[in-house]
Amino acid sequence: MPDETREVGSTSRGRLRVLLGAAPGVGKTFEMLTEGRHLAEQGRDVVIGFVETHGRAATFAQTSGLAQVPRAVFTHRGVSLEEMDLGAVLARRPGLALVDELAHTNAPGSPNAKRWQDVQELLAAGIDVVTTVNVQHIESLNDVVEKITGVVQQETVPDAVVRDADEVEVVDLAPQSLRDRLSAGQVYPAERIDAALSNYFRLGNLTALRELALLWLADEVDSALRTYRTEHGIDSAWQTRERVVVALTGGAEGETLLRRGARIAARSAGGELLAVHVTTQDGLRADRPGALTAQRGLVESLGGSYHQLVGDDVAGTLVEFAQSVDASQIVIGVSRHSRIAAALTGPGIGAEIIRRSGDIDVHIITHAAAGRRGALPAITGGALGWRRQLIGLGVALVGGPLLSWLLFTLRAPGSITSEVLSYQLLVVVVALIGGIRPALFAAILSGFTLDFLFVEPLFTVTIADPLHALALALYVVNAVLVSIVVDQAARRARAARRASSEAELLAAVAGNVLRGDSAPTALVSRAREAFGLSGIRLLSPNGETIAVDGEPLPDGPTESVPVGAAADGSPRAFLELHGADLDAAGRRLLDAIVAQLAAAIEHTDLRETAKEAAVLAETDQVRSALLSALSHDLRRPLAAAVAAVGGLRGAHRLSAEDRAELLATADESLATLSQLVTDLLDVSRVQAGVLAVSLGRVDAGGVVVAALDELSLGPADVELALDANLPPLKADPVLLQRVLVNLLTNAMKHSPTGRRVIVSTSSLGGQAEIRVVDRGEGIPESQRESAFLPFQRHGDTDNTTGLGLGLALSRGFAEGMGGTLTAEDTPGGGLTMVVSLPLADAPIPGLEERKVGDPEAEFDALRTSNGDDLDGEPR
């Protein structure tokens, strides 16, 4: 029936509602159909544009009673493909269209390449649409989902399409409930359940995908809220969740503030911690850049985020940021200025933040560093080099007399002001060149010169007018203050250069070590460059060279530094320095490098010791297990063979039947001994790493059939679920058959009577998987890894068990072919052995002529490769 709520001929854009799911099977399609039925009962004109039920009975039942637009059929390379008939839906012009799988790629020949483009046309025509999409198909999350699941999603939808929807609703289902639904056969056919549970539908994967979907929607809601406030000119903060902004200055109090802010944020569910550091345009705001780096790491460990802002108005920049993120609270520290400094400079940034914060609460946290800026900086000692100090002193000695001669020659009544300013300029120039010492000398010398040449009475060092004495005193004070400012600027510049060099050194060392370089070699090399040495060498206690860089001096080292301490207290190594002596700052950095060298050497020694101990322990374990196995498994067939041969010696007293039986016993026993010896040799080759492997393109189904033929197993024993579209594997067919024979033998031995073993094949992320499934008692998770060790039989004592080498050999063969062999629980009870091997790099048919931008070639690649199937689950 026509939609009574829509005006005839209306061209307004339709509304889009997206049902977002974390994974296939959460019930998106079911929810879409349920809503369609509900709206249809209310009188809306609802039609099904396209729905994919995937054979799910409950989903199919929801389609009854809803009008469906017949699908369009496209033929591509002899295959008939059904798609939504966009033209028919537009002609039908319903009030609401139900369109499943928004990220779907249409068949060649369709009006649009993607289904989301079809939906855009429906919306433009004024038709409301309800559609479904999984979080793994959202373009911006595609790479994140790949890291979580290991599966590359071929079909994606742009974020903007989903974000522009009028409504986005997450169809949520707990991960374990989804796995239960999958196990019950409500999502995939029975032959795909085991592979799905063990791969894409792992509990960890589903939990991560669920969180990803909820966070994406939360960000979308937050963005929509900000857009609404901007459009309506709302400046006040809407504190929909607890957001705590912590102001960092680079001081030692930062750690205290961060921990307090984290506790405040943790008091409410969903609270956020945001750390902010405001730096000025010149980047000189931070007291200790190293402390900021450490505090940034602390923020991340507390689950917060770090933000670096630039602004000369610290208080304004901080409050503006807090308002932009709808912060509920700001955490700042008590000022580190002393009371005297606060009285001189005003209440400080904290009071300004409180004044501007508005309805944002401000917490002022006390700390150990509060009020510690009262001491004046030391003015003794120069920060500039001695050459610049000598130049500055020379300028004072030469420029002072020249300036005095010039000013005395041009002297006029009342010119004392210009003379004072001239000498002041001389002091500033000397301070800029040579620092505090030459500037103080110039200030004192020029003060005496002023008094001697220009202050009444002339040519004396006495002052008649008290005001002249005050002016001369102020002149000297100004000269001293200018000298201090220049000297402190030089000190800080030199300290900044030094800190930058040290940070670069440590970062380079850490980078070398992280990239896998030898830690001692990297440390030695960087140390020589940092200290400007001609050579540096690290020696072991017996004089052997561990690492060397540069050219050590032939006449011996300038200094030899012990590195670390062994158990007996002797040094682990010695670091020889060849070249100039180090200053105090250099020695502090050298101490840090020596400490790292000691730790690196100790770590290397411990690692070597651990390797030796592991080899000895493994050898001892194998030796003990071998002796135990030999005492049982080799002795019994050997005893049987000896008895049979002994009986045959008296063959003249035996009947023909008895002789035949003895020969058969001897033959069987010797064959058993031969197989046991062969397995022992195979294990030794695997452990020695000399297993001969011939890789090639192998058909998994053919190897499975060959293994079944070798064991004489038929349909009554084994159920096959082989993927006919599985590409060839990269494997050794002989070794792969041995692996399958061993796994099938174990599975048949442990399967209950009447229960068939299942053998299935599938692919996932460039890997092929062959699964051997039994319904026996299984192996406890704590004992699974030990089952793959040689001579482990987990309590078996029968004479057919052998040396317990079957699983050890199977894993060794699988790893020798570049694959893996793992054990998993069988849903419903039992054990599943999974052989994972790489797929051969076979060209996909039809891709040789594929061209970029060709939708037909793209569709063919998706349909013939490992694309998405059954609502996004990879084949």
Alpha carbon 702 to its chain's center: 41
DSSP label at residue 839: B
Residue 772 pLDDT grade (very low, low, confident, very high; cuts 50, 70, 90): very high
- The Cα 787–Cα 785 span in angstroms is 5
Residue 814 has what pLDDT?
83
CB atoms within 10 A of CB 45: 21
Distances (CA, A) of 433 to 399, 429, 484: 13, 6, 13
Q: With pLDDT > 70 as the criterion, what percentage of the chain qualifies?
A: 72
For the stretch 833-850, pLDDT in tens is 999 999 886 443 333 333
Right CATH for 696-842 from 3.30.565.10, 3.90.1150.10, 3.40.50.300, 3.30.1780.10: 3.30.565.10
pLDDT at 236 over 60: no
CB 170 within 8 A of CB 132: no
User: Which range has highest mean pLDDT (266-270, 283-287, 388-392, 822-826)?
Assistant: 822-826
pLDDT of residue 201 exceeding 50? yes
The residues with which 823 forms a beta bridge, in sequence order, are: 833
State the Cα–Cα distance between residues 733 and 122, nearest whole angstrom.
Answer: 54
Write down the domain spans for the chain: 16-231, 243-365, 386-492, 511-613, 696-842
pLDDT on residue 166:
86
Q: Helices 386-409 and 436-454, interaxial angle, to 10°?
A: 20
For 139: left if phi > 0, alpha if psi spans -120 to 50, otherwise beta; the answer is alpha
pLDDT at 221 over 80: no
Among 98, 76, 81, smallest CA distance to 89 is for 98
Check residue 123 and give its pLDDT.
93
* pLDDT band (50, 70, 90) for residue 97: very high
Calculate mean pLDDT across residues 554-567.
77
Highest mean pLDDT among 158-162, 264-268, 288-292: 158-162
Which structure tokens are listed for 13?
């854009």
Q: Which residues pair with 834 in a beta bridge?
A: 771, 822
Percent of the chain with pLDDT over 90: 8
Between strands 757-764 and 729-731, the pairing is unpaired
Q: Return the CA Rg of the chain.
A: 41
Is residue 142 within 8 Å of 133, Cβ to Cβ?
Answer: no
Q: Which long-range contacts (CB under 8 A, 24 or more apart) does 401-406 make?
A: 404/449, 404/453
419-469 confidence digits (pLDDT tens): 777 887 888 888 778 777 787 788 778 877 877 787 777 777 676 667 766
Alpha carbon distance 303, 329 (integer Å): 17
CATH number of 243-365: 3.40.50.620
Report the topology of domain 16-231. Rossmann fold (3.40.50)
Q: Which of 173, 69, 175, 199 is nearest to 129 (CA)?
A: 69
Phi, psi of 308 (to 5 degrees): -105, 120
How many whole angstroms separate alpha carbon 781 and alpha carbon 680? 27
Burial 248-268 (b: 16+ CB within 10 A, else e): bbbbbbbebbbebbbebbeee
Give the model's confidence band at 870: pLDDT under 50 very low, under 70 low, under 90 confident, else very high: very low
Nearest to 237 by CA among 353, 332, 324: 324
pLDDT confidence of residue 131: 94
CATH superfamily of this structure's domain 511-613: GAF domain (3.30.450.40)
Bridge partner list, 230: none
Strand partners, 279: 310
Closest to 239 in 3D by CA, of 359, 362, 331: 359
pLDDT at position 124: 92
Q: Which string of DSSP letters, residue by residue, matches 163-197?
A: HTSSEEEEE---HHHHHHHHHTTSSS-HHHHHHHH
HSE toward the beta carbon, residue 111, CA cutoff 13 A: 16
pTM for the model stands at: 0.39
At 867, which helix (H) or strand (E)? none
Nearest one of 291, 211, 193 to 251, comparing CA atoms: 291
Confidence at residue 140, expressed as pLDDT on a 0 to 100 scale:
77
Burial class for 616, CB neighbours closer than 10 Å (0-12, 13-18, 19+): exposed
Nearest to 730, CA basis, from 847, 631, 838, 586: 838
414 or 798, greater pLDDT: 414
Work out the widest C-alpha separation in the chain, in whole angstroms: 154
With CA atoms as reference, report the closest residue to 58 among 35, 80, 34. 34
Tell me, what's the pLDDT at 128? 93
Which residue reads 């409950």 in tokens?
A: 58
pLDDT over 80 at 32, yes or no: yes
pLDDT (0 to 100) of residue 209: 81
In this chain, the answer to whether the domains covering 16-231 and 243-365 adopt an identical fold is yes
Q: What pLDDT score does 709 carry?
A: 84
What φ, ψ does residue 839 adopt, rounded to 5°? -75, 145
Cα–Cα distance for residue pair 828/706, rounded to 1 Å: 29
* Structure-token match 């401000």, residue found: 362
Residue type for position 456: E
Binned at pLDDT 50, 70 and 90, residue 325 comes out as confident
Task: Give the separation between CA 17 and CA 15, rounded to whole angstroms.
Answer: 7
The answer for 609, left when phi > 0, alpha when psi is -120 to 50, beta otherwise, is: alpha
For the chain, the straight-line distance linking the first and the last C-alpha, in angstroms and rounded, comes to: 41
DSSP-assigned letter for residue 580: S
Report which of 277, 261, 278 is spatially closest to residue 328, judged by C-alpha positions. 261
Nearest to 564 by CA among 548, 552, 575, 576: 575
**Distance from the Cα of residue 482 to its chain's centroid:** 52
CA distances from 445 to 406, 440, 448, 461, 599 (A): 16, 8, 5, 12, 56
Contact at 8 Å (CB) between 837 and 818? yes
pLDDT score at 90:
92
- Which residue from 783, 736, 779, 782 is spatially nearest to 761, judged by alpha carbons? 736
* pLDDT value, residue 278: 84
Q: Work out the mean pLDDT of the chain and round it to a whole number.
A: 75
